[in-house]
Amino acid sequence: MRQAGHTRQAGHARWTSPQPLWLVAAIFAWLLATAWMRPLMAPDEGRYASIALSMLHSGDWLVPRLDGLPFFHKPPLFYWIGAAAMAVTGPVEWAARLPSIVGAGAAASALFLFLRRWSTVRLALLSTVVLVTTPFFFMGAQFANLDMLVAGCIAPTVLLAAAAVLAREREEPWRGLLAGAYLFAAAGLLAKGLIGIVLPVGVLAAWCAVTRRPSALRLSVWLPGWAILLAVAGPWFVAMQLKYPAFFDYFVVTQHFRRFASSGFNNEHGIWFYLPVLAGLTLPWFAWVLVPRGRDGVARPRLSDIDWLMWIWFAVVVVFFSLPRSKLIGYVLPALPPLAYLIAQRVLAGRSMEALVPRVRATALASAAVSVACVAGLAMYAVPPGTRLRLPVGQAVAADDQVLMLDSYFYEIPFYWNLRQPVRIADDWKAAAADTRDNWRKEIVDAGRFDPARAANTLVDRTQLAAALCVPRITWLVAPSNAQLAHPWLARAQLVAVHGSVAAWRFAGSAGQDPHCLDVAASAPAASAASVTPASAHPPAPGTNGDD
């Protein structure tokens, strides 16, 4: 009996006293474990992965480019990390998602290290376990867009700055902590713009006000910190403004203030939207909120400084993103670290460790299983057609060939075909320029305004298709599989691959640059989709990426 009790105590000690380096390594290993399992999802993952790959292929590490055109919706940090990873691995899914994994790992590690120092080790570990096994957080780390990366910059900024305030009050070294906060603020600025600074400043200002620390607000104008921030983030913004005079208006005014205030963007939801999102996507951990506290009748302790920080952090993020009409689920990811702390605190409230460990372990395993099941479900059922569109064996896009997309832009094709040159896109671009809706056409048109000369070659008006195709070169056409209804001349092209609603054709062009090479009257009989082996049944052609 004594030996069994000693074993339980040793197990509890290990549970509450992990080695920080091993824990951080375990966090990154867990978040990376399933990042390879599913194809990129359209449009977001295909867009950001292809921009990073384009940066690598072009050698231009300053200007993010969507199909060769300057794309200033967001700054370049995500693309820098993704391009650097793909320089080592090639265009594979887990490398495209590495920026999000880095962001998630930074957020979880910062939460653990902060709480380990300024709260209890037990609460630090449980908060971290709650965070990394929560399906919302896990899936955010497995999704190649900018939301988790900026969340991973915001969390260390808040926590390092708060640690600097607390250390300064206790006459401990604080300047290194504050310098780290400014460094992560610069990273947040390079990850997603002003939000990387605005949210941490809002959280910390409110925390200092509520906890009566007015003197701590002076740290927000600490000159060495601003020197770090400007030295790290400033050069890219200055370079873009000098190169593109319209950059400031588009990046700052349109993509920040107009997007926040207007209703002309997609995904409009009510002010209540994020409350059910947070409750539903953090199950089963969120269910602990509904469990009665232990030790009924015992007075609840007053909120500590750390409690106030977490409550304010959570509230500021949720309220901030609830105000605009346009809402995406990933926007609220920065609220997950404080929510994990609040859930962990509720779990531990008035409960003995011996009774708690089995229940916590069961919840963590259930939550982790739900997270992996979500990844597996997406891998099976949420596959964009373009990710499975493969060219048959023996056919590949040569260096002198051109790729043209008809009436649609499939973001994931440049990534999976490992294209080194921009594709051309045929559409009604005059109508697209007048369209104010937030869609792929508007993204391309907006990007084209920064480089009109390149856009004139990339964006092909439907009336100019003959000039683009009746040339002595091979053109690979990618379009909806029913595109021949709108373009009868496709009967002259060879249908080479079909997957679901997307198809690829090979068009031989015209050796004599015959301007009538698309005339329907001269068309050969159309190749039916039934006569083509589905692309998904073929391995990828040489020179293309074969990872799914």
Q: Are residues 396 and 332 in the same domain?
A: no
User: Is residue 359 domain-resident?
Assistant: yes
Q: Which of 126, 517, 154 is nearest to 321 (CA)?
A: 154
Q: How many domains does the structure of the chain reveal?
A: 2
Looking at residue 5, what is its pLDDT?
A: 46
pLDDT digits (tens, 9 = 90+) for 77-116: 999 999 999 999 999 999 999 999 999 999 999 999 999 9
Q: Please give the model's pTM, rounded to 2 decimal places.
A: 0.88
Instruction: Look at residues 381, 396, 428 and tell me which one is the last residue of a structural domain.
Output: 381
pLDDT digits (tens, 9 = 90+) for 488-538: 999 999 999 998 889 999 999 888 778 788 886 544 444 444 344 444 333
User: Is residue 547 domain-resident?
Assistant: no
Instruction: Look at residues 348, 381, 414 and tell me which one is the last residue of a structural domain.
Output: 381
State what percent of residues in the chain have pLDDT above 90.
Answer: 66
Computed over every residue of the chain, the mean pLDDT equals 87
Identify the burial level of 451 via C-beta atoms within 10 angstroms of its C-beta, where 0-12 means exposed, 13-18 middle and 19 or more buried. middle
Average pLDDT of the segment spanning 184-192: 97
Residue 84: which residues within 8 A CB-CB, separation 6 or more?
A: none
Looking at residue 66, what is its pLDDT?
A: 96
Looking at residue 194, what is its pLDDT?
A: 93
Q: Are residues 374 and 230 in the same domain?
A: yes
Q: Which contacts of 208-213 are long-range, i.e. CB under 8 A and separated by 24 or more positions?
A: 208/165, 210/308, 210/312, 211/305, 211/308, 213/165
User: Is residue 71 domain-resident?
Assistant: no
The residue among 389 and 260 whose pLDDT is bigger is 389
- Distance between CA 299 and CA 318 in Å, rounded? 29
pLDDT digits (tens, 9 = 90+) for 311-334: 999 999 999 999 888 788 999 999
- Distance between CA 375 and CA 137 in Å, rounded? 12
Question: Lowest-pLDDT range, 188-202, 377-391, 459-473?
Answer: 377-391
Query: Residue 484 is part of which domain span?
Result: 386-537
Q: Which of 410, 421, 407, 419 is nearest to 387 (CA)?
A: 410
Banded model confidence at residue 540, pLDDT cuts 50, 70, 90: very low
Looking at residue 265, what is its pLDDT?
A: 54
SS3 443: helix
Instruction: Look at residues 319, 350, 381 and tell me which one is the last residue of a structural domain.
Output: 381
Average pLDDT of the segment spanning 190-212: 95
- Inform me whether the pLDDT recorded for 16 exceeds 60: no
Beta-bridge partner residues of 326:
268
**Pairing relationship of beta strands 475-480 and 402-406 according to DSSP bridges:** parallel
Looking at residue 530, what is its pLDDT?
A: 39
Banded model confidence at residue 258, pLDDT cuts 50, 70, 90: low
Q: Which of 98, 76, 102 is nearest to 86 (CA)?
A: 98
Looking at residue 8, what is its pLDDT?
A: 44
Looking at residue 384, what is its pLDDT?
A: 80
User: Is residue 405 domain-resident?
Assistant: yes
Structure token digits, residue 349: 């409230």
pLDDT digits (tens, 9 = 90+) for 88-97: 999 999 999 9
Question: Lowest-pLDDT range, 40-44, 89-93, 335-339?
Answer: 40-44
Q: Are residues 105 and 198 in the same domain?
A: yes
User: Is residue 79 domain-resident?
Assistant: no
Looking at residue 12, what is its pLDDT?
A: 43
Amino acid in position 157: T
pLDDT digits (tens, 9 = 90+) for 456-476: 999 999 889 999 999 999 999
User: Is residue 114 domain-resident?
Assistant: yes
- Distance between CA 465 and CA 475 in Å, rounded? 12
Name the residue with tokens 């091993």: 22
Q: Are residues 350 and 390 in the same domain?
A: no
Looking at residue 125, what is its pLDDT?
A: 93
- Distance between CA 316 and CA 334 in Å, rounded? 10
Q: 279 phi and psi, to 5 degrees?
A: -65, -45
Looking at residue 261, what is its pLDDT?
A: 59
The number of beta carbons lying within 10 Å of the beta carbon of residue 420 is: 14
- Inform me whether the pLDDT recorded for 547 exceeds 50: no
Looking at residue 130, what is its pLDDT?
A: 96
